Amino acid sequence: MTTIGVFDSGLGLTAFAHAIHRAAPQADLVLAMDPDFAPYGRLSGADVTKRALFSARTLAQHEPDAIVVACNTASVNALPALRKEFKIPIIGTVPAIKPAAEAGRPFAVWATPATTNSEYQNELIGKFAAGLDVHQTAAFGLAQAIDAADPVSIRAAVAQAMADTPEGITDIVLGCTHYGLVADVIRAARPGIRQLYDSHGAVAQQTLHRLGLKPSPEAQPTGRLRHVYLSGRPGELPAAVGAYPAGQALLDIAV
């Protein structure tokens, strides 16, 4: 039986774990969130690395075949340390700037304030979108509102981020793993949106590739969500996860 570990500071891992389950429904999942230290955007790079290692070590108790870092901030800061310590595949998360650039249209990158205009994000834009009109938007408070499943705060944070995004831009890269959970709210805030670029599908495919597995969405869904950890403590998925379809799907396979 294949076991895949997934971690994030909060609910951002939800869509990623669900995408993995859809692609490999016979694989078991083990999840780790870190509510005591969320959001990671307020921590130093060194502290993010410490927390990422802590979560990965927590998952490692169950001998997973791979670990997915379902967090942009943790991927930026901690991948080298994680890959040095663990010999299993460690799959990071990268904003979908490359596919957005391939469309050839102006686009925005929504991210946490800590990631917006960071050296890492600027390097990705320079590498894949040189010469294109790219606007970086800090989505203040959106990840926290999503963790709380607070619809009023979510709509307010989305409205502010959209107001900070030039009107002519109709493509948006979702540069935080949380944001895909509220894609419908983002689309509703600007009816002219053509494309939202998220990365959970690509990360799920990369995870299976690294494990030598082929996507088998039609297979019998025997995989289960076996364990959930909250800052290292055994627990359950937060109630807020049920506010999102991907989260409800995880609740349905939890044991």
Contacts (Cβ under 8 Å, ≥6 apart) of 54: 34, 232
Q: Where are the alpha helices (DSSP H) in 108-170?
A: 119-128, 142-148, 151-163
- The closest alpha carbon to 11, from 148, 139, 126, belongs to 148
Q: In what order do the strands lie in the sheet with 90-91?
A: 90-91, 66-69, 3-7, 28-33, 225-230, 233-235
Instruction: Calculate the CA 46 to chain-centre distance.
Output: 20
Catalytic residue among 69, 71, 138, 143: 71
Q: Is 71 a catalytic residue?
A: yes
HSE-CB for 170 with a 13 A CA cutoff: 8
Asked if 94 is an active-site residue, the reply is: no
Q: At residue 19, what are phi and psi to the nearest 5 degrees?
A: -65, -40
Candidate list 79, 145, 154, 176, residue with the active-site label: 176
Q: Cβ(69)–Cβ(78) under 8 Å? A: yes
Write out the catalytic residue numbers. Answer: 71, 176
